[in-house]
């Protein structure tokens, strides 16, 4: 089992994310724009989880080169999900995005205190999933599991505070 973004090694894929998105746009009769190109490069430049507002905060501001309006960001993120490039899921009332294309199936641990989202892979979990599905005659397309709790760092910090409160 592995539990860090670094441990989720990208898979070999035949098309780059940019090429796959270009293919998606062509099948829908849409054109590739400089803003879409900029966003796909920015999103796939690092492996992290983010919401639309966090991405917008990291982009150039109005009046700067490569400015992308918030409406375009929201629309393009939906297109990335539809194209199979990103996954999206709800977490604490916000839509969180993560890279999907070129990354293996994995699950998450979510710290409810610091909002850290840790990725992990478990062959044991996958085997249980497949066994249960087979027993019930179910064909698995995908799954998502998010285990909520408190991370090690937040647990340590809480214990320190308790000792301090006793003094």
**Is the pLDDT confidence value at 55 over 80?**
yes
Kindly state the average pLDDT of the residues 112-120. 93
Question: Hey, which residues does 96 pair with through a beta bridge?
Answer: 89
Q: Over the Cα atoms of the chain, what is R_g?
A: 19
**Is the pLDDT confidence value at 159 over 90?**
no
Q: Binding site membership for Zn(2+): which residues?
A: 111, 114, 151, 154
Token pair listed for 48: 């992290």
Residue 114, SS3 per DSSP: coil
Confidence of residue 162 (pLDDT cuts 50, 70, 90): low
Q: What is the pLDDT of residues 131-153, one digit of tens each?
A: 999 999 999 998 999 999 999 99
Q: Binding site membership: which residues?
A: 107, 111, 114, 143, 151, 154
Q: Give the pLDDT score at 7.
A: 58
Sheet of strand 146-149, all strands in order from the earlier edge strand to the far edge: 117-120, 107-111, 146-149
Helix (H) or strand (E) holding 139: none
Through-space distance between the first and last CA atoms of the chain, rounded to whole angstroms = 40
Q: Binding site membership for Fe cation: which residues?
A: 107, 143
**Is the pLDDT confidence value at 156 over 70?**
yes
Share of residues in the chain with pLDDT > 90 (%)? 77
Name the pTM for this structure: 0.82
User: Is the Cα dihedral 12, 16, 19, 23 positive or negative?
Assistant: positive
Which domains does the chain carry? 14-103 (1.10.10.10), 104-167 (3.30.1490.190)
């Amino acid at each position: 089992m592995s539990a860090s973004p670094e441990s989720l090694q990208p898979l070999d894929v035949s098309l780059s994310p940019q090429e796959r998105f270009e293919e998606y746009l062509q099948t829908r009769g849409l054109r590739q724009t400089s803003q879409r190109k900029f966003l796909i490069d920015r999103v796939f430049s690092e492996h992290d989880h983010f919401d639309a507002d966090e991405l917008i905060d990291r982009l150039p501001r109005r009046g700067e080169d490569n400015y992308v309006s918030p409406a375009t960001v929201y629309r393009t993120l939906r297109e990335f999900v539809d194209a199979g490039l990103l996954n999206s899921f709800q977490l604490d009332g916000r839509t969180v995005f993560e890279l999907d294309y070129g990354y293996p199936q994995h699950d998450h641990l979510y710290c409810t205190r610091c909002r850290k989202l840790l990725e992990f892979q478990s062959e044991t979990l996958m085997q249980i999933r497949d066994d249960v599905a087979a027993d019930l005659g179910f064909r698995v397309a995908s799954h998502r599991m998010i285990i909520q709790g408190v991370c090690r760092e937040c647990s340590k910090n809480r214990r320190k505070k308790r000792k301090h409160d006793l003094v």
